[in-house]
Amino acid sequence: MYLPYFDTEQWMTDHEGGALYNLTDTCIRPFSLGELLEMDKEGISKDVVLDYGSITGDVRLKKELLSLYTTGSEENITTASGCNQANEMVMLALLENGDRLITYTPGYQSYIDLPKSVGCDVVTLPLYEDNGWQPSLTDLRKAFEQPVKMVILNMPSNPTGVVFNEEYLNELIALCRKENTWILADEVYRDIRQPSLSDLYEKGIATASLSKLFSLAGLRFGWIKGPKEVIDTINCRRDYSIISTGPLVDTLALVALRNKEAILNRSYQRIETSKTIIHEWLKEEKRCTWVEPAGGTVSFLGYHKKTSSAALCEGLQKRYGVFFVPGSAFGYEYHVRLSLTAEADRLKEGLRLFSRYLDEID
Amino acid sequence: MYLPYFDTEQWMTDHEGGALYNLTDTCIRPFSLGELLEMDKEGISKDVVLDYGSITGDVRLKKELLSLYTTGSEENITTASGCNQANEMVMLALLENGDRLITYTPGYQSYIDLPKSVGCDVVTLPLYEDNGWQPSLTDLRKAFEQPVKMVILNMPSNPTGVVFNEEYLNELIALCRKENTWILADEVYRDIRQPSLSDLYEKGIATASLSKLFSLAGLRFGWIKGPKEVIDTINCRRDYSIISTGPLVDTLALVALRNKEAILNRSYQRIETSKTIIHEWLKEEKRCTWVEPAGGTVSFLGYHKKTSSAALCEGLQKRYGVFFVPGSAFGYEYHVRLSLTAEADRLKEGLRLFSRYLDEID
């Protein structure tokens, strides 16, 4: 099953190493194992036995995961090796050759290319920058003139940070309900104070992980929340794949979730500080356009120059060590992914150097 | 992509909980996290930062993995979330709708049903109990009369414990070389003193994990060793799936591999003790047939009774708490999977109770 290179991930892998100012990382400064173990006041992790563990997921863990949602019970949850692998399992479990899907662009490549590898037809609807990266209801209605097996969305979105407005979401759900269409909502960037698609729509399947706002990408822990029939099908597929996420990761994930308030507040503070810095910088920097993200850790910064985004990112990193993922990795030119995760001093200095680089190029 | 229930894994999940005498577990008594950390004399695990880590795998880790093979360099290795997920990645990366494959029966279900889910045609060749579970060269030559994209084998095999003899392997490799056929060798049960297919054949792809002989299933750590072109394709696919195995698991895997001699010797001793106990028991128990496994932790025990294997296993567990996976889960009746992993006293008593149960049934 052919898959092309994953441009964003490949760019990260190839360029992340040498970065002095990483202004594109999707994760707030990750915790160390030591820091995480210090949060484990009950000492539940030290005696973990490294067997397969509870195959469909630790019950205490599922309870904690459910606290991030307003509906559902333990049979509506299963675990995965990160959110990406959760998405892969949902897509491979539910999609068949010939199915027709909707997703959005600019967006994360796997929502297009994984379904294509199964033989699906993927319709991409544009996000409109001049409308705050909101999609259009007209486009949506037109796409629903033919049968749609699944809508894949990412909310908040990578790279735009958009959260679809209520009017759009309501109509999307109404159309899906009428056509019996699944919604796969990648909520890896979700602020848990915002609603989950899985709580709004009975055929909504939400995926997420501890990688982004929880700052624990290294656990490779994700989950899926959705209708019982979907979770059952995925638990069947899991036996052909990861089998379980294992008791080590499950237990450490439980520790993290029991400390979610402190962990998430740290992230929310960083995000607010970053937004303030970016707004300050934009007061002086008139060659860039920016839509403040409604949630998550990433945004999509436009620049008014002729240099392509890949050339700009290569040149900028070489010249000043400032690291962005280019818009081209998301199929969208003259933009870079600007994240809200860097420490304040790094972000300020990185943006200052970026402005200086814009002086130097066409 | 439809997949049926995975009978073996489902049976394990449904029955493992209540077992007093688990005589079918594939793993030697798993280590605890504490025991593993005690092996970390250099203290490399405590400061692990929980970011995505080295995306295509820690270089020190790859070096240790290569020490389990006689050929290859770091570009011939990538990591996975267990051996099962490694197999899934190999199959999804290399197989296309319409490909024709060969595998063996009785065997592990995923070698048949995962390729089928991609739309492949799977030819199953029998393993012959009366020939020590060896396959037949005649069957093989006949299967190669049409094009074969991949041969999937499991050596030592689950559930039979067979290692194909040299004559068979040589002819298999010769046929594959002539037809440009991949061999996917699931070597999760391999005794590292035995050769790896990936060292014998230039299009051989070996998968393995720390789950079985390393007693660390809870790490969910596996790997793939194969030709660079395959590893590159799989690293591309990994970006759509697990992305990385993460620095926590990678570091703990490194600790385990640096202590492989002690860990594996513990396992080899358990296996030898179990074999002695089984041979002793068989001297008195004439209603059973057994081929001593050439490697690994499992074997396939035949019994001469009319009761089906599923009914026998259900009844035996209910009556005496002795837990086997029935042959039916491997598509082969009047057998049970007998593993070599139980503690000596448990194994002796479990076999004694099994004999008593055979007295009681038809």
The residues facing A299 across adjacent strands are A338
Of the pLDDT bands very low, low, confident and very high (cuts 50, 70, 90), residue B293 is very high
A31·B9 Cβ contact <8 A: no
Least Cα separation, residue B1 to chain A (angstroms): 5
Give the pLDDT mean for B221-227: 98
Mean pLDDT on B122-146: 98
B258–chain A nearest CA distance, Å = 18
Residue from B1, B11, B58, B85 to probe the interface with A (highest A Cβ count within 10 Å): B1
Nearest to B6 among A34, A50, A239 (CB): A239
Residue B303 DSSP class: E
Q: What's the pLDDT at B54?
A: 87
CB contact under 8 A, A218 and B1: no
pLDDT at residue A143, as a whole number: 98
Residue B177 φ/ψ, nearest 5 degrees: -60, -45
Q: Measure in Å the smallest separation between the Cα of A359 and chain B Cα atoms.
A: 34
Task: Please give the average per-residue pLDDT across A229-241, as a whole number.
Answer: 96
Residue with token string 């040498």: A18
Residue with tokens 């300050």: A280
Confidence (pLDDT) at A46: 81
Contact B33 A45 (CB under 8 A): yes
Cα-based distances in Å from B144 to B139, B169, B201: 9, 14, 17
pLDDT at B204: 98
For residues B197 and B203, the answer to whether their CB atoms sit within 8 Å is no
Least confident of A43-52, A69-78, B320-329: A43-52
Do the bridges between strand B21-22 and strand B322-323 make them parallel or antiparallel, or are there none, so unpaired? parallel
Q: Do B110 and A32 touch (CB under 8 A)?
A: no
Q: B82, A31: Cβ pair inside 8 Å?
A: no
Report the percentage of chain B scoring pLDDT > 90: 93
Q: What pLDDT sits at residue B46?
A: 81
CB contact under 8 A, B114 and A217: no
Chain B residues whose beta carbon lies within 8 Å of the beta carbon of residue A241: 81, 84-85, 88
- Rounded (10°) angle between helices A59-66 and A247-258: 40
pLDDT value of position A13: 84
* B193 has a pLDDT exceeding 80: yes
**How high is the pLDDT of residue A301?**
98
Length of chain B, in residues = 362
User: Has residue B45 got a pLDDT over 90?
Assistant: no
Give the model confidence (pLDDT) of A177-207 as tens digits. 999 999 999 999 999 999 999 999 999 999 9
pLDDT (tens digit per residue) in A290-311 = 999 999 999 999 999 999 999 9
Distance CA B338, CA B24 (A): 5
Contact A236 B88 (CB under 8 A): no
pLDDT of residue B57: 84
Which residues in chain A touch residue B158, judged by CB atoms under 8 angstroms apart?
none
Please report which confidence band the pLDDT of residue B64 belongs to, taking 50, 70 and 90 as the band edges: very high
Give me the pLDDT at residue A9, please: 86
* CA–CA separation, B356 and B336 (whole Å): 16
- For residue A210, the model assigns a pLDDT of 97
Nearest to A120 by CA among A154, A95, A86: A95
For residue A82, the chain B residues in CB contact (below 8 A) are 242-243
**CB atoms A239 and B10 under 8 Å:** yes
The residue-averaged pLDDT of B11-21 equals 86
Exposure of A301 in the CB half-sphere (CA atoms within 13 A) = 28
C-alpha span between B64 and B263 (Å, rounded): 14
Q: Report the distance separating Cα B318 and Cα B339, nearest Å.
A: 19
Residue A331: pLDDT above 80?
yes
Write down the mean pLDDT value for chain B.
Answer: 96
Which residues in chain B are closer than 8 Å to A249, comparing Cβ atoms?
A: 220, 248-249
B141-189 pLDDT tens trace: 999 999 999 999 999 999 999 999 999 999 999 999 999 999 999 999 9
- Check CB contact under 8 Å for A52 and B88: no
CB-closest option in B46, B53, B243 to A82: B243
Q: What's the DSSP call for residue B128?
A: B
Nearest residue of A to residue B81, measured between CA atoms? A242
Whether B88 sits inside 8 A of A240 (CB atoms) is yes
pLDDT in tens, A123-164: 999 999 999 999 999 999 999 999 999 999 999 999 999 999
Q: Encode A238-259: b = buried (16+ Cβ within 10 Å), e = exposed.
A: bbbbbbbbbbbbbbbbbbbbbb
Say if the Cβ atoms of B48 and A33 lie within 8 Å: yes
**Alpha-carbon distance B191 to B196, whole Å?**
9
The amino acid at residue A278 is I
Mean pLDDT to the nearest integer, A44-50: 89
Size of interface A-B (CB pairs under 8 A): 186
Based on the number of CB atoms within 10 Å of its own CB, is B117 exposed (0-12), middle (13-18) or buried (19 or more)? buried
Question: Smallest CA–CA separation between A283 and chain B, in Å?
Answer: 33
DSSP code at position A251: H
Q: Which residue of B has its CA nearest to A211?
A: B51
Cite the beta strand spans of A107-156 per DSSP E. Answer: 121-126, 150-154
- C-alpha to C-alpha distances, A76 to A71, A206, A240, nearest whole angstrom: 9, 10, 20
Q: Is the pLDDT of residue B18 over 80?
A: no
Q: How far apart are CA B300 and CA B248, in angstroms?
A: 36
d(CA A155, CA A191): 9
Global ipTM: 0.95
* pLDDT tens digit sequence for A100-114: 999 999 999 999 999
Three-state SS for B221?
A: coil
Helix (H/G/I), strand (E/B), else coil: A58: coil
List the beta strands (DSSP E) in chain A: 21-22, 77-80, 100-105, 121-126, 150-154, 182-186, 204-209, 222-225, 288-290, 298-303, 322-323, 325-326, 335-339
Supply the mean pLDDT for chain A: 96
- Could you identify the residue written with the tokens 């391999």? B190
* Predicted local distance difference test score (pLDDT) of residue A252: 96
Tell me if B249 and A96 make a contact (CB, 8 A cut-off).
no
Q: Which of A12, A56, A247 sits opposite B218 (nearest CB)?
A: A247
Search chain A and give the residue with CA nearest B222.
Answer: A242
Residues 6+ apart with CB under 8 A from A256: A36, A39, A210, A214, A216, A219, A263
Torsion (CA) B259, B260, B262, B264 in degrees, nearest 10:
160
| pTM score, whole prediction | 0.96
Chain A residues with CB-CB distance to B209 below 8 A: none
